[in-house]
Amino acid sequence: MAGREKMTKHIWTKVEDARLVESLLHMVETCWQADNGTFKPGYLQRLLNEKIFSCSIGLSTIECKVRFLKQQYCAIVEMLSNACNEFGWNDEFKCVEVEKEVFDVWVQSHPNAKGLRHKPLPHYEELSIIFGKDMATGEGSETSYD
Residue 79 resides in a domain? yes
Residue 18 resides in a domain? yes
- Residue 85 near residue 105, CB atoms below 8 Å: no
Residue 47 resides in a domain? yes
pTM for the whole structure: 0.80
Predicted local confidence at residue 4, as pLDDT = 57
Residue 84 resides in a domain? yes
* Residue of 138, 65, 79 whose CA lies nearest to 110: 79
Beta bridge partners of 95: 90
Q: Which residues contact 7 (CB under 8 A, 6 or more apart)?
A: none
Residue 40 domain boundaries = 14-134
Q: Indicate the number of domains in the chain.
A: 1
Per-residue pLDDT of the chain (146 residues; tens, 9 = 90+): 455 555 678 888 899 899 999 999 998 998 888 777 788 888 888 888 777 776 677 888 889 999 999 999 999 999 998 766 789 999 999 999 999 999 999 999 999 999 999 999 999 999 999 998 655 444 443 433 33
Residue 28 resides in a domain? yes
Length of the chain: 146
Residue 139 resides in a domain? no
Predicted local confidence at residue 144, as pLDDT = 35
Residue 140 resides in a domain? no
Residue 113 resides in a domain? yes
Burial of 56-94, coded b for 16+ CB within 10 Å and e otherwise, reads ebeeebbeebbeebbebbbbbbbbeeeeeeebeeeeeee
